[in-house]
Structure 1
Amino acid sequence: MDRQSRYKDFSGFLAGYFPFKVQKLSVNAGFSCPNRDGTKGYGGCTYCNNQTFNPAYCRTEKTIAVQLEEGKQFFSRKYPQMKYLAYFQAYTNTYAGLDSLVRMYEEALGVPDVVGLVIGTRPDCMPDALLDYLEELNNRTFLLVEYGIESTDDGTLRRINRGHTFACTEDAVRRTSARGIRTGGHVIVGLPGEEGRDKIIRQAEILSGLPLVTLKLHQLQLIKGTRMGEEYLRCPGDFHLFTAEEYVDLVIDYIEHLRPDLVLERFISQSPKELLIAPDWGMKNYEFTNLLHKRMEERDAWQGKYFKT
């Protein structure tokens, strides 16, 4: 049984839409967040430092088109036939007026070889008027709306200062999917109070009940310059940080309880070493994926093995 047989991977998902290689290019469009500007709160989520995933070319003083062109140059040397998805990633990429959002999304789509959009956002920032536009956009290009879910537990969401409930997430996912828009989610595994296997497996079961097309998960990382990082340095005993070996088996347990058709895009995150407090596994994404597949073979595990409808 090969890797694609053991779980639904993102590259296979994209291959079903495009007859060529496709790469996501991150865009920093200068958005803020309602959890930072006082609308919902200040300081943002306690784990968040957006410097951990912004490539060097993503600078807000550059236009969206320039950021994408510079990102293309990085990949086009090795893959001259590559096409691209503009990934609106940093902060909350639907948190602006409709006219401004339309202008930014259309600017990205106007860049040669950009064949679609991935829009990362919060579930409390998806008004119906924007969904009207995204529904129309989805009819003429590839579109994936990716919600930061982070947790299905309201107590945990309060603990990390998320500023919304899981009911809000469920509503946004269902409203988006009902428009025919591909809808994705992102969760953090091992948030404080959610380190136990039973709670984590229960999350997989809950998410399987939502009309999600894609799912990203990654381990909890403690990052410099965040409130959670400071909490960890003060009271490390309040946190359980998985070893890579523990996490591999936990992810496999998670996958085995997921709906079989959910596309799994990512399993770990790699924060820059200069920003990372812990855990430091020294492992790249592809190395973890190889380890995961080997362990799945050893366990004869596959996605949905224990999924119950």
Structure 2
Amino acid sequence: MHHTQTDELSEKNRHPSEGHTLSPFPFSDTNKRYHTYSYALKQQYGKKLAKIPLDAGFTCPNRDGTKGWGGCRFCSSQGSGDTILHSGEDLRLQFEAGLERARKKWPDASAIAYFQSYSNTYAPLPDLRRILEPVFSWEDVAEVSIATRPDCLDAEKILWLSEMNRVKPVWIEMGLQSGRDATMAAMNRGHNTSILVACMKQLQGTGIRTCLHIINGLPGESHEDMMETARLVARLKPDAVKIHMLHVISDSALGQDYRQSPFPLLSMEEYVQIVCDQLEILPPEMVVERITGDGVADNLLAPEWTVKKRVTMNAVDRELACRDSWQGKRYKPEQ
């Protein structure tokens, strides 16, 4: 029988603790069988880093008419920044409020400044420098994470970001959402997968870390469609991935559709099966920043189970243990 490096590492990590076996997964010091964000940060920094969401006042090219109107059909009017406390305030005030909130839970936490709302490189470079560069000098900021679109990054902006990456680590987060172009068009994304693939190639070798977001349960998508999206993520090899369930938000275009004619959504059980199938084919070293999103109860139409994030996460843990499986167990570099 052929043993991979992951198999060998797994055996080393298999030891009893408090009457049960720890995860066979190499990138874990708990029962987790996937490469959690908290584990990755703890390995690098030795302590908690809190991700502080910030709104710098940008928009998106599929909102302002450049690529379309109305934004992505699944996006709320806040451009996916629904956890932001004080949008529109001075960035420093937003940051201090977010850090104060985080330190009530983790008193010694440092911070990741997370530009979350809309497309945070959708502006001329001089404006980006004026808005974003000061954040790199803030003492409590350990990393800067910038959510954007692949069609809002060009060679000049990537060069500047690679320079800023020498000051503090830079993450670029982009929404792949689906590897199926028909779904991307139906969701009014305003770009196809080939643009994202090209952007990922441009970012390679710059030192800038990348995180791709995918959404399970988009209208019309089959299990195989969602698996193909995960295979594309595996081939692109971002440093991290966020896996979300589709949230039907009341102030989104999809929300309007759903009110008029409800479409089928994944049950929690179906979602857990799909996530575990996806984790099995992702490279084990890829950090999984999320395996489900934060459903905001106030503006969530469906599915109601998404507000219980911890229940979903525990169900994923149980399913992987039941399968005796883990992230990367079925990963093939050539898939």
Shift of 1:283: 4.2
Distance of 2:200 and 2:84 partners within structure 1:
31
Q: Secondary structure at the match of 1:303?
A: coil
Alignment check: 8 A CA contact 1:121 1:147 kept: yes
Match of 2:232 among 201, 206, 213: 206
Q: What are the superposed Cα offsets for residues 31-51 of structure 1, whole Å, 9 maximum, x if unpaired?
A: 111000111011111111054
Alignment check: 8 A CA contact 1:177 1:212 kept: no
Alignment check: 8 A CA contact 2:48 2:110 kept: yes
1:249 aligns with 2:249: no
Q: Please report the RMSD computed on the Cα atoms of aligned residues, expressed in angstroms.
A: 1.7
Q: Secondary structure at the match of 1:281?
A: helix
Match of 1:160 among 155, 180, 187: 187
Letter in 2 for 1:105: L
Look up the match of 2:33: 6
Shift of 1:9: 1.1
Shift of 1:230: 1.5
Match of 1:260 among 272, 284, 297: 284
Letter in 2 for 1:68: F
Segments of 4+ moved more than 6 angstroms: none
The structure with the larger Rg is 2
Aligned residues: 305
Look up the match of 1:21: 48
Distance of 2:312 and 2:34 partners within structure 1:
15
Look up the match of 1:197: 223
Task: Identify the range of structure 1 (112-121 vs 12-21) with the bigger mean alpha-carbon deviation.
Answer: 12-21
- Residues 15 and 153 of structure 1: is their aligned pair in 2 closer, same or farther, counting only changes over 3 Å? same
Alignment check: 8 A CA contact 1:22 1:84 kept: yes
Shift of 1:56: 5.2
Look up the match of 1:234: 260
Distance of 1:100 and 1:256 partners within structure 2:
42
Letter in 2 for 1:216: K
Letter in 2 for 1:102: R
Alignment check: 8 A CA contact 2:296 2:307 kept: no
Alignment check: 8 A CA contact 1:120 1:146 kept: yes
Look up the match of 1:302: 326
Look up the match of 1:91: 118
Shift of 1:228: 1.1
Look up the match of 1:55: 83
> Percent of aligned positions with the same letter in both sequences?
35
Shift of 1:114: 1.0
1:224 aligns with 2:255: no
Letter in 2 for 1:137: M
Compute the TM-score of the two structures, normalised by the length of structure 2: 0.86
* Unaligned ranges ≥5, structure 1: none
Task: Identify the range of structure 1 (263-272 vs 285-294) with the bigger mean alpha-carbon deviation.
Answer: 285-294
Look up the match of 1:275: 299
Shift of 1:304: 1.4
- Residues 55 and 205 of structure 1: is their aligned pair in 2 closer, same or farther, counting only changes over 3 Å? closer
- Residues 232 and 129 of structure 1: is their aligned pair in 2 closer, same or farther, counting only changes over 3 Å? same
Q: Secondary structure at the match of 1:91?
A: coil
Distance of 2:315 and 2:232 partners within structure 1:
26
Q: Secondary structure at the match of 1:274?
A: helix
Distance of 1:56 and 1:153 partners within structure 2:
30
Look up the match of 2:212: 185
Shift of 1:57: 2.7
Distance of 1:12 and 1:50 partners within structure 2:
33
Shift of 1:6: 1.7
Letter in 2 for 1:159: A
Look up the match of 2:19: none
Distance of 1:282 and 1:259 partners within structure 2:
26
Distance of 2:104 and 2:218 partners within structure 1:
39
Alignment check: 8 A CA contact 1:35 1:44 kept: yes
Task: Identify the range of structure 1 (163-172 vs 73-82) with the bigger mean alpha-carbon deviation.
Answer: 73-82
Distance of 1:209 and 1:188 partners within structure 2:
17
